[in-house]
Amino acid sequence: MSGAEMTSDPWLILLVIVPLLAAPVCVLLRSATGAWSVATAVAWSVFAISLKLLDTVMDQGVVRYRIGGWDAPWGIEYRLDSVGVFVVLIVSAIAAVILPYAKRSVEKEIRKDRIYLFYAMLLLCLTGLLGITVTGDAFNLFVFLEISSLSSYVLISLGTDRRALTAAFRYLIMGTLGATFYIIGVGLLYQTTGTLNIADLKTIMPAVIDTRTVHAALAFLTVGISLKLALFPLHMWLPNAYTFAPGAVTAFLASTATKVSAYILLRIIFTLFGDVDLFASFPLQPILITMALAAMFLASLSAIWQENVKRMMAYSSIAQIGYIVLGIAMATETGLTGGIIHMFNHALIKGSAFMAIGAVVFSTGAVTLTQMEGIGKRMPYTMAAFVIAGLGLIGVPLTPGFISKWQLVTAAMELNMWPLAALILLSSLLAVIYVWRVFEVAYLRPAPEGAPAAQEVPLSMLLPIWVMVLAALYFGSNATFTLNLAHTAALQLMGGL
Amino acid sequence: MLFAFLSEAQAIKLAVLLPLIGGLLVMWMGERNRNLREAASLLTAVLTFALVASLTGEVLGGARPSVDLFTMLPGLSVTLTVEPLGQLFALIASGLWIVNTVYSIGYMRANKEGNQTRFYVCFTIAISAAIGIAYAGNLLTLFLFYEVLTISTYPLVTHAGTPLAIRGGRVYLGILMSTSIGLLFLAMLWTYNITGTLDFVEGGILAGQIQGPELAVLMFLYMFGIGKAALMPVHRWLPAAMVAPTPVSALLHAVAVVKAGVFSVVKVIVYIFGLDFLNQAHSVDWLLFIAGFTIIAASIIALRQDNLKRRLAYSTVSQLSYVILATAILAPISVAGAVMHIAAHAFGKITLFFAAGSIYTAAHKTEVSQLDGIGKRMPFTMVAFGIGALSMIGIPPTAGFISKWYILTGALETGEAFAILVIVASTLLNAGYFLPIVYRAFFKDQQPRPESDPYAKYDNHGEAPIAVVLALCFTALGTIALFFYPDVPLALGRALVGG
């Protein structure tokens, strides 16, 4: 605690303040281009800030900021450790890449007079996601959770298809349930302990863990967050939301929102309840592993049967969340590292995939397999990006998916869970099937009669896609940096640091 | 020296990169300038071979030059190391690539195949991957290039784009991907977990680390995980791959891809398990029986195939298991024989496929039963076919005799009666499915096709285009030359087992 007074890093609060204040600026500007420029500038500065924070965290371990100068646990403390900074980096990097891409895509998909509102919402969503990761206060976390959720409902409902409205509404119901469960859990904890500071709760927890209230709180917290995380079988809101949302929104949410929810789950299990051995006193591990495996297999099987490629990738996301949760559930150094690094790797892979599909929708309107026949010839660069992303989902070497699988299978072997090791690999074979369905249609079927010869998207969309793909290939062939970061985070969560 | 200006490390890197650079050139030329595009392909092939060949001397001299490309995981690099076995494989793949390019130019143009640029580009990636496999310094590198080879050859298998080709492609990709990801990946991670290394080390890395049933399971994972070696029952991708244009079947599915499979098998047995270690542990004797079974069963299936390319494919399945059988005998001399067989089979089988493609191009015939009297119309093609067939059976003066001789010597030394029996029986079977083709071609009279047959107009055909004939004559002569001058492959084989 002694470090708290000494270091109070203002960059931490700027991470949240900048996008929060920029959102009303977008509304005031009332101009599509103006709002986009502000949002892009914000995303890039947030990314720069998070790089700076990464540097500080790697140097000092933990960065803090006391809101209003009040010390924790009375005041709200912002607190960023290596776990948080990894997630902050994911969110801000994805935002920085997607915003340039969004410009043309949004112009086409959203009514012109609503575009500035779109960017305001996107900035609020960014605020919420970043806020969740930097706050050290359980109630403050709820506030940011709601900010990000409410703005994402709006973002999804802006999709051109009218089914986007029902999808957003469904997400709203499920999301609100999740958030309510979370706040009930926090309320129960507050009632028992009298504090909302996460670090404070952690130290008090061993004294109160054997009460029925805390057990109930744990149940509410985990189920509530599993809803937001779309952990099988609480994933029902996700496929429609991702399918009907505007292309840029799907790409953004798929690579960030679920990762942040996974981060909350990590915080609950390893920080809030970090000083009590949850895995010994509750059957948490078998439950989480079962859910994760069910997600990996059932969602992948669903993905295989999808005609709509966006929906296929949405189901694939549910399966990939399974990998993340599996890593968390193994609760060993290696397993956690695997789960955490897959948050990053999957963000890159799925971001690329959804951006590529968004580009196809942008220039041809095609989103089902039948409509995408022969698209490989007409949009060679976009589809090449999609193929690489697809190989990443399978886990082919040189893609980051390979690194994740390497780590997760190693973790399973270390625990002597041989069937689990085999099942992880088996489930990636299901990815081969759905990825190859798209591949066959795109490259081996002739284009429909009268289709234009070339329909490649403008450079402003192609470039961000390839930035993401090349980043994926880089972190797939040179994973030392990301693995070390994830490993440090895992150690911190396990209490070894 | 042509490449004297390059350091060893640069030369090794360039050997893998050169085909890719050639691929970019080919892509850039595209359909606009086909002659230049083909010239780029050919030049790349020649340069790659020259570069690979320039490394031979040092390897025979005992050097093992090595270079790290990049660090994929902490402590695990993608590394290229030149050692005898890899050198031989790289020599074969890049050398036959030159011949195959000449052949492809003749074949693809005569048959007016579409998407030729994609074809040549994928070919360059596949060759780059094959050389990467050959020079892999550790299992991770091998796995990486192994997967690249699978993916880059998929568009070649499905080249025709017909429903049949797509189905074939699914079987191809399905089996190769599921075995490599499901089994080989698991075996690799297991090995890494118990030994903490994936390097190919002389004498192996597993000795004393694993035993009993676990050793047998690990061996099982490796042998069936390396699906490209086509041990039964994971061999079905090979006949499925025959829907590809013949140059692909010839170089990739008789040489590069399948040899990558048996090469990986030899590499894993010699450098991961270690011959001495396996000799002490008897839990892997089953491998001998599976290989023996595959040899015989595939030969029997080959006997019943009327489609020429499918017959050749099953013959390949059978011949690949010769290499596995020879390695599983675990005697140094038979392992040297296995290495020799990789070379011998490469030359023989590519000749046979070249001949099959030549027949298709000139006469539009694909079935064995159609080949009556074809030897009179296509003497060069069919004589070359005969030479290839003799090598498959193992009759002097062809390369196949030498390798069988070594394998048999090893079997006799160790007293493996089963292996001897299999080799004798399969020799008879080989004769049974190859000699009738030669007999038909030269001693029967041609049966004209009915008027209704759309290909009847091709009945009055001559030899295939000159590029095709040149290529197949060259490899046929190579099959004979390898009998008289087997020094290089044998020396490399001996260097592998330290004899």
Would you list the DSSP string of B76-102?
EEEEEE--HHHHHHHHHHHHHHHHHHH
Q: What is the arithmetic mean of pLDDT over A111-138?
A: 93
Over residues A194-203, the pLDDT tens digits come to 999 998 899 9
Residue A1 has pLDDT above 60, yes or no: no
Given this model, what pLDDT does residue B2 score?
Answer: 61
Q: Residues A461, A387: contact at Cβ < 8 Å?
A: no
Task: Decide the pairing of beta strands B76-81 and A63-66.
Answer: unpaired
Nearest CA in chain A to B192: A410
- Token pair, residue B403, equals 């390798």
DSSP assignment letter at A137: B
Say which DSSP state A308 is in: B
Share of chain B above pLDDT 90, in %: 50
Alpha carbon distance B294, B318 (integer Å): 6
- What number is the average pLDDT over the span B321-342? 89
- The helix-helix angle for B84-110 and B34-53 (nearest 10°) equals 160
A interface mutation test: which of B16, B73, B175 has the most A CBs within 10 A? B73
**Alpha-carbon gap: A440 to the closest alpha carbon of chain B (Å):** 8
pLDDT of A7: 62
Determine the distance in angstroms separating the CA of B178 from the nearest CA of chain A, rounded to an integer.
6
A216-225, A441-450, B254-263, B432-441: the lowest-pLDDT one = A441-450
> Residue A37 pLDDT > 90, yes or no?
yes
% of chain B at pLDDT higher than 70:
99
A133 pLDDT higher than 60 = yes
Chain A residue numbers with beta carbons less than 8 Å from the beta carbon of B71 are 478, 480
Alpha-carbon distance of B367 to A446, in angstroms, equals 30
Q: DSSP strand E in B74-185: where? A: 76-81
Buried b (16+ CB within 10 A) or exposed e, B30-40: eeeeeeebbeb
Residue A184's pLDDT is what? 96
pLDDT confidence band for B386 (50 / 70 / 90): very high
Nearest to A84 by CA among A239, A263, A225, A236: A263
Placement of tokens 């295989």 in the chain: A304
Q: Kindly provide the b/e burial profile for residues A276-308, where b requires at least 16 CB atoms within 10 angstroms of the residue's own CB.
A: bebbeebebbeebbebbbbbbbbbbebbbebeb
Cβ of residue A422 closer than 8 Å to a chain B Cβ: yes
pLDDT at B7: 83
Q: Looking at beta carbons, which residues of chain A come within 8 Å of B170? A: 436
Cβ–Cβ below 8 Å for A421 and B186: yes
Window from A243-247, A428-432, B465-469 with minimum mean pLDDT:
B465-469
Residue B186 and residue A477: Cβ atoms within 8 Å? no
Instruction: Report how far residue B277's alpha carbon sits from residue B284's, in angstroms, rounded to the nearest whole number.
Output: 11
Compute CA distances B88 → A221, A339, B194, whole Å.
Answer: 62, 42, 31
**B298 to each of B304, B319, B391, how far by Cα in Å?**
10, 9, 17
CB-CB under 8 Å, B181 with A425: yes
Q: What is the pLDDT at residue A427?
A: 93
Which pair of tokens denotes residue A173?
């119901």
The predicted structure's pLDDT at residue B465: 86
Smallest CA–CA distance from A475 into chain B, residue: B72
Asked if residue A73 has pLDDT above 80, the reply is no
Query: What is the value of pTM for the model shown?
Result: 0.92
Q: Per-residue pLDDT tens for B30-61?
A: 777 888 888 888 999 999 999 999 888 888 88
ipTM: 0.90
The residues that bridge with B81 in the sheet, in sequence order, are: B66
- Angstrom CA distances, B243 to B167, B176, B248, stand at 9, 16, 9
How close are the terminal C-alpha atoms of chain A, in Å? 14
- pLDDT of B383: 93
Of A395, A413, A480, the CB nearest to B71: A480
- Whether A432 sits inside 8 A of B161 (CB atoms) is no
- Residues in chain B within 8 Å Cβ distance of A421: 186, 189
Residue B161 C-alpha, separation from nearest chain A C-alpha, in angstroms: 5
> Cβ of B155 and A436 within 8 Å?
no
Of A12-16, A26-30, B160-164, B419-423, the least confident: B160-164
| pLDDT, average across residues B361-373 | 88
Question: No. of H helices and E strands in chain A?
Answer: 22, 2
Which of B473, B247, B465, B446 lies closest to B381, judged by CA?
A: B473
Rounded-to-integer distance, Cα B120 and Cα B122, Å: 6
Q: Which residues in A lie closer than 8 A to residue B143 (C-beta atoms)?
A: 397
Q: What integer pLDDT is reported at residue B17 of this predicted model? A: 92
- Find the angle CA(B275)-CA(B279)-CA(B280) to the nearest 5 degrees: 125
Which residues on chain A are in Cβ contact (under 8 Å) with B173? 432, 436
Lowest mean pLDDT among A428-437, A447-456, B235-244: A447-456
Is 90 exceeded by the pLDDT of residue B447? Answer: no
- Say if residue A4's pLDDT is above 50: no
Residue-level pLDDT at A448: 80
Cα–Cα distances (Å) from B170 to A221, B173, B175, B245, B254, in that order, read: 45, 5, 8, 17, 20
Residues 374-413 of A with CB under 8 A from B: 391, 394-398, 403, 405-406, 409-410, 413
Contact assessment for residue A337 and residue A407, using Cβ atoms and an 8 Å cutoff? yes
Domain ranges of chain A: 1-184+233-263, 283-497
Q: Which residues of chain B lie closer than 8 angstroms to A429, CB-CB?
A: 177-178, 181-182
Tokens of A422: 């085999």
At A2, the pLDDT band (50, 70, 90 cuts) reads very low
What is the C-alpha separation between B427 and B198, in angstroms, rounded?
Answer: 38
Largest CA distance in chain A: 72
Specify the pairing of strand B76-81 against strand B66-73: antiparallel
To the nearest whole number, what is the mean pLDDT of chain B?
89
Q: What is the pLDDT of residues A251-297, one digit of tens each?
A: 999 999 999 999 999 999 999 988 888 888 888 899 999 999 999 99
Report the amino acid identity of residue A472. Answer: A
What pLDDT was estimated at residue A496? 55
Q: What is the pLDDT of residue A5?
A: 46
> Which of B74, B158, B181 lies closest to A483 in CB terms?
B74
Closest CB to B181 among A395, A446, A479: A395
In A, which residues are within 8 Å of B147 by CB distance?
396-397
Confidence check: pLDDT of A3 > 60? no
**B458 is written with which tokens?**
């091709």
- Integer angstrom CA distances of residue B371 from B300, B367, B443: 21, 7, 11
Distance from CA of B70 to the nearest CA of A (A): 7
CA dist list (Å): A402 to A408, B125, B148 = 10, 20, 13
pLDDT of residue A25: 94
Q: Pick B193's closest partner by Cβ from A410, A432, A445.
A: A410
| Cβ–Cβ below 8 Å for B182 and A422 | yes
